[in-house]
């Protein structure tokens, strides 16, 4: 089942970085780009429908809303940083609707030395050093490579569904309504959805709403009733049921 990371989808120079031993993340997506660097061992990264095996000293850049996962076949030590496009606005515009054929690349010499000092740590660098480091990474991603259009495959259909959920999750949203909006026959889209997301639409929508509710519980002073309706649950009772289903506790125990 694919899940949406609300905390990795914020703008206004949002940034976080974590160093993982034996990284494991199931399929997920978020609005912000994600940079992966393998320090030691090997890391298997699935991006949309392709899988890449990263070795020590290799980077991969995952673009906004690309569905991805991480798996360690044996052992790995890796750094993963997620950053909003505010840091790299020119790059974000240049890459819109495009992608590298292969998202895996390396940085050598003085470039890597700079990144080691100012980016590849679990500490938040000074703003200008961070912006410079991310710009260097994105410039390396674009260097000496061919850009291709983002795929019109099943993963593109998944992104279309995600964008509708992202925009309309507060409403009474149904897969049948999405099928009509996208011009697909409902039963066909239902089969494709199950294959892509490995769950049913109701569970997917509830998990998206749950992630948004979690964020509001932490970052706002809104009441449970306000959050329940703002996230599209329709009632506090339904909100409590779904929240307990995903977290194992009630929202009052935040």
Q: Domain check: are 125 and 169 in the same one?
A: no
Q: Domain check: are 200 and 119 in the same one?
A: no
Which domain range does residue 144 map to?
3-149
**Domain with 177 in it: what CATH number?**
1.10.10.60
Please, which residues have CB within 8 angstroms of residue 135's CB and are 6 or more apart in sequence?
A: 87, 88, 91
Q: Domain check: are 59 and 171 in the same one?
A: no
Distance between CA atoms of 191 and 45, rounded to whole angstroms? 25
Distance between CA atoms of 145 and 182, rounded to whole angstroms? 33
Reading the chain (254 residues) residue by residue, the pLDDT tens digits are: 677 787 888 889 999 999 999 999 988 888 899 999 999 999 999 998 789 999 999 999 999 888 899 999 999 999 999 999 999 999 999 998 899 999 999 998 999 999 999 999 988 899 999 999 999 999 999 997 889 987 645 567 887 888 899 899 999 999 999 999 999 999 999 998 988 787 899 999 998 899 889 889 988 999 999 999 999 999 999 999 999 998 988 888 55
Give the end of a domain, one of 122, 149, 176. 149
Model-level pTM? Answer: 0.73
* Number of structural domains found in the chain: 2
Q: Domain check: are 139 and 192 in the same one?
A: no
Q: Domain check: are 125 and 203 in the same one?
A: no
Pairing type for strands 3-4 and 25-29 reads parallel
* Element containing residue 4 per DSSP (H, E): strand 3-4
Contact 74, 12 (CB under 8 A): no
Q: Domain check: are 132 and 172 in the same one?
A: no
**Measured CA distances, 154 to 49, 50, 159, 192, 230 (Å):** 9, 12, 9, 8, 30
**Domain with 74 in it: what CATH number?**
2.60.120.10
Q: Domain check: are 185 and 130 in the same one?
A: no
Q: Domain check: are 64 and 161 in the same one?
A: no
Specify the 3-state DSSP secondary structure of 167.
helix
Q: Domain check: are 74 and 143 in the same one?
A: yes
Distance between CA atoms of 79 and 106, rounded to whole angstroms? 14
């Amino acid at each position: 089942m694919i899940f949406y990371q609300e905390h990795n989808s914020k703008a206004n120079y949002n940034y976080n970085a974590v160093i993982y031993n034996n990284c494991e993340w199931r399929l997920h997506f978020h609005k912000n780009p994600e940079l992966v660097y393998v320090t030691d061992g090997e890391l298997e990264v699935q991006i949309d429908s392709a899988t890449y095996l990263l070795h020590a000293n290799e980077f991969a850049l995952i673009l906004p809303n690309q569905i991805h996962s991480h798996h360690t076949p044996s052992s790995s030590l890796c750094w993963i940083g997620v950053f909003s496009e505010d840091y790299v606005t020119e790059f974000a515009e240049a890459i819109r609707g495009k992608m590298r054929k292969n998202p895996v690349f390396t940085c050598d010499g003085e470039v890597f030395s700079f990144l080691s000092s100012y980016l590849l740590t679990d500490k938040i660098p000074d703003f200008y050093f961070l912006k410079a480091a991310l710009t260097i990474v994105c410039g390396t991603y674009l260097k000496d490579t061919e850009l291709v259009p983002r795929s019109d495959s099943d993963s593109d259909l998944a992104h279309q569904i995600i964008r509708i959920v992202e925009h309309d999750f507060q409403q009474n949203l149904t897969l049948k309504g999405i099928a009509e909006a996208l011009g697909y026959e409902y039963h066909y889209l239902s089969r494709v959805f199950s294959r892509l997301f490995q769950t049913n639409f109701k569970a997917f929508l509830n998990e998206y709403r749950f992630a948004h509710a979690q964020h509001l519980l932490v970052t706002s002073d809104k009441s449970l009733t306000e959050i329940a309706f703002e996230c599209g649950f329709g009632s506090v009772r339904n909100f409590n049921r779904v929240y307990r289903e995903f977290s194992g506790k009630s929202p009052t125990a935040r």
